């Protein structure tokens, strides 16, 4: 199994004695320090601030801002040209041309309910059902 702290291509038998031990300790200390610096945002800012002059940072920030503006202008221009060439009605016709539509409609008719909960006209039917008509009463008697 390889040692993760060993440099690629390093011969493990090359260093012997105290020179190898001191070198390994120094390398591990530097690796650990760099890892801890790069693991947090503050550490990264401190490292970049110590290495890169402020003028370079301001220049890079300005260039990135200009790059972002140019990129957005290019995307907006391309989208505008594309949308100006597209006719929505034609595109919808193309999309719907091979489709078949099935429409199923069910229509129901019911009597309108009165405010008392009875259907309009139902009360009239009940009165006529309770009271026999005059013709029916005459024929019986």
Number of residues written out for the chain: 141
Q: How far apart are CA 141 and CA 136, in angstroms?
A: 9
Which residues have a Cβ under 8 Å from the Cβ of 47 and sit 6 or more positions away? 37, 38
User: What is the tens place of the pLDDT at every residue in 6-65?
Assistant: 555 555 555 555 667 777 777 777 777 767 666 777 777 777 777 777 787 788 889 999
User: How many other C-beta atoms can be found within 10 angstroms of the C-beta atom of residue 118?
Assistant: 12
Predicted TM-score (pTM) above 0.85? no
User: How many other C-beta atoms can be found within 10 angstroms of the C-beta atom of residue 35?
Assistant: 10
Which residues have a Cβ under 8 Å from the Cβ of 44 and sit 6 or more positions away? 37, 38
Which residue ranges make up each domain of the chain?
13-51, 56-99
CB 26 within 8 A of CB 20: no
Per-residue pLDDT band for 1 (boundaries 50, 70, 90) equals very low
């Amino acid at each position: 199994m390889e040692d993760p702290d060993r440099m690629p291509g390093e011969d493990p038998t090359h260093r012997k004695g105290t020179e190898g031990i001191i070198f390994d300790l120094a390398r591990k200390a530097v690796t650990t320090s760099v890892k801890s610096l790069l693991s947090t945002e503050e550490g990264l800012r401190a490292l970049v601030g110590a290495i890169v002059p402020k003028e370079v940072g301001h220049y890079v920030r300005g260039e990135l801002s200009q790059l972002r503006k140019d990129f957005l202008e290019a995307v907006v221009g391309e989208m505008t040209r594309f949308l100006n060439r597209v006719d929505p009605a034609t595109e919808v016709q193309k999309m719907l041309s091979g489709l078949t539509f099935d429409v199923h409609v069910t229509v129901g008719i019911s009597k309108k309910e009165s405010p008392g909960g009875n259907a309009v006209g139902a009360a009239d039917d009940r009165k006529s059902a309770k009271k026999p008509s005059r013709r029916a009463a005459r024929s019986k008697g």
